[in-house]
């Protein structure tokens, strides 16, 4: 660059100089930007977000086309967490299949187990004992609270409300402690089995559940103080991620997304299962159809779940937790060993002390599994994210021919472009957080 000419030259990039007490200072001027570049350039750019981005709510990839800060097109790319759970079930017995499906939507494992077992029981044409059905309801509602707390916590983290995150995970620990006491595991329980449950609840279950209710009823109002009435939180979410009820129906969205748009569709009310018709609870709805409405709806659903859990404490009465049919009843008759996996020595002695025929039957039931009549069945349940259905196909053998889970995360992700296009990049984060997808269920 020439600096010898101190006057303005013909070159727009010629630097002028002047002397100061600090030395020589050069001033570089340039021509007008619009005259230096092609006037017909494209202002749109495409950015890749994920699948390792901390705000994609899991192993999700978003491809966003932007015009400035405005999203003109959004696409969700899935498959990065594929586990082959459905395919693996074809090589396991019907009972072993529970240990696979429980790992699909890992934030609501007990719902996966329930849908799978209800479909299996539909093929078997068997009725589960009342105590087992009510315990399933108890466990699912406890699990629903834990899942919604994670939705609030991770949504808060992605939008910068870190106190909401720490509070949400603090309360979720209460849920996981209780589930561990009731089932033996914090997650992926495989506690709900075809025909009933793996085993009965511990003797002090009612006391532990009552203590949990006290803790949650004390802490839940804090969320209204921390988030619901917080002006920054409201401004960040109100009017963002708008999707009206006709859009929800066109895209197949269910759960909080659909109810936040005004339609009170809930499988527990519309198509009751597991004695849900006996419970007194409301289906919260909203009409704003935005991120803030979905947040408020999840908080309201936690309150309703607490009401159902409280009713379970009084409804659950002594009785069996597995069907009486000895050709199906394994493994509920097994007492779990100290390692949480095998059988207790007392039960082994009981089996060995019976007839040789009984021992052979037990061996074949454990290794080969029970036969399920040929046919196909689909049973939906209301998971924290919407309609979770299990479609099972049997050829009459001891293993399913086909297992398919209608996971709400997979279907609900279709709403992301409709919620995000026309908004800003930052609003994509809020929209995805309000969908609350779990990629384990999406990529099963």
pLDDT, tens digit (0-9, with 9 covering 90-100), for 185-209: 899 998 999 999 988 899 899 999 9
Q: What is the C-alpha separation between 323 and 330, in angstroms, rounded?
A: 9
What DSSP letter does each residue of 31-69 carry, written as one string? Answer: --HHHHS-TT---EEEEEE-SS-TTSSSS-EEEEEEETT
Looking at residue 210, its pLDDT comes to 95
- The percent of residues above 70 in pLDDT, for the chain, comes to 88
Q: Is 435 a residue whose pLDDT tops 60?
A: yes
Looking at residue 20, its pLDDT comes to 81
More confident residue, 132 or 16: 132
Q: Please compute the mean of the pLDDT values over residues 75-81 and round it to a whole number.
A: 89
User: Phi, psi at residue 195, to the nearest 5°?
Assistant: 100, -10
All structural domains of the chain, each given as residue ranges with its CATH number in brackets, are 1-40 (no CATH), 86-330+369-438 (1.10.645.10)
Please enumerate in sequence order all residues whose Cβ is within 8 A of that of 374, keeping only pairs 6 or more positions apart, or say none: 394, 395, 396
CB distance 258 to 287 below 8 Å: no
Looking at residue 13, its pLDDT comes to 54
CB distance 379 to 390 below 8 Å: yes
Q: What is the C-alpha separation between 389 and 405, in angstroms, rounded?
A: 6
**Encoding tokens for residue 128?**
């589960």
pLDDT digits (tens, 9 = 90+) for 280-329: 999 999 999 999 999 999 999 999 999 999 999 999 999 988 888 877 87
CA 140 → CA 93, 144, 284, 326, distances in Å?
Answer: 24, 6, 18, 27
The pTM score is 0.85
Please enumerate in sequence order all residues whose Cβ is within 8 A of that of 281, keeping only pairs 6 or more positions apart, or say none: 268, 304, 307, 308
pLDDT digits (tens, 9 = 90+) for 85-121: 999 999 999 999 999 999 999 999 999 999 999 999 9
Q: Is 33 a residue whose pLDDT tops 50?
A: no
How would residue 444 be classed by pLDDT, with cut points 50, 70 and 90?
confident
Looking at residue 1, its pLDDT comes to 44
């Amino acid at each position: 660059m020439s600096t010898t000419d101190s006057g303005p030259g013909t070159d727009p990039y010629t630097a002028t100089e002047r002397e100061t007490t600090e030395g020589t200072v050069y001033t570089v001027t340039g021509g007008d930007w619009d005259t230096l570049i092609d006037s017909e350039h494209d202002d749109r750019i495409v950015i890749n977000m994920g699948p390792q981005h901390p705000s994609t709510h899991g192993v999700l990839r978003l491809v966003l086309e932007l015009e400035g800060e405005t999203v003109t097109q959004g696409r969700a790319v899935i498959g990065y967490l594929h586990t082959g759970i459905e395919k693996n079930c074809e090589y396991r017995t019907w009972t072993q299949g529970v240990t696979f499906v429980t790992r699909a939507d890992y934030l609501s494992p007990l719902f996966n187990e329930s849908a799978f077992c209800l479909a299996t029981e539909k093929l078997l044409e068997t009725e589960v004992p009342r105590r087992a059905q009510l315990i399933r309801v108890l466990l699912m509602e406890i699990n629903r609270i834990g899942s919604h707390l994670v939705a609030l916590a991770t949504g808060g983290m992605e939008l910068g409300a870190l106190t909401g995150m720490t509070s949400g995970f603090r309360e979720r620990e209460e849920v996981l402690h209780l589930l561990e006491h009731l089932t033996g595991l914090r997650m992926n329980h495989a506690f709900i089995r075809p025909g009933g449950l793996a085993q009965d609840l511990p003797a002090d279950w009612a006391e532990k559940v009552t203590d949990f209710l006290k803790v949650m009823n004390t802490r839940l109002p804090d969320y209204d103080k921390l988030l619901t009435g917080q002006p920054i939180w409201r401004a960040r979410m109100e009017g963002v991620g708008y999707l009206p009820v006709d859009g929800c129906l066109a895209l197949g969205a269910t759960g909080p997304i659909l109810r936040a748009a005004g339609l009170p569709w809930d499988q527990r009310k519309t198509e009751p299962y597991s004695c849900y018709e006996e419970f007194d609870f409301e289906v919260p709805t909203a009409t704003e159809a935005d991120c803030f409405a979905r947040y408020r709806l999840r908080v309201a659903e936690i309150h309703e779940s607490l009401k159902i859990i409280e009713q379970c404490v009084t409804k659950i009465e002594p009785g069996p937790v597995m069907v009486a049919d000895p050709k199906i009843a394994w493994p509920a008759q097994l007492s779990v060993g100290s390692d949480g996996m095998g059988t207790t020595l007392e039960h082994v002695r009981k089996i060995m002390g019976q007839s040789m025929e009984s021992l052979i039957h037990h061996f074949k039931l454990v290794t080969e599994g029970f036969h399920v009549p040929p046919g196909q069945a689909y049973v939906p349940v209301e998971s924290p994210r919407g309609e979770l259905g299990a479609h099972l196909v049997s050829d009459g053998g001891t293993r399913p021919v086909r297992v398919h889970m209608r996971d709400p995360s997979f279907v609900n992700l279709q709403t992301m472009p409709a919620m995000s296009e026309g908004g800003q990049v930052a609003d994509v984060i809020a929209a995805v957080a309000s969908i609350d997808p779990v990629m384990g269920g999406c990529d099963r």
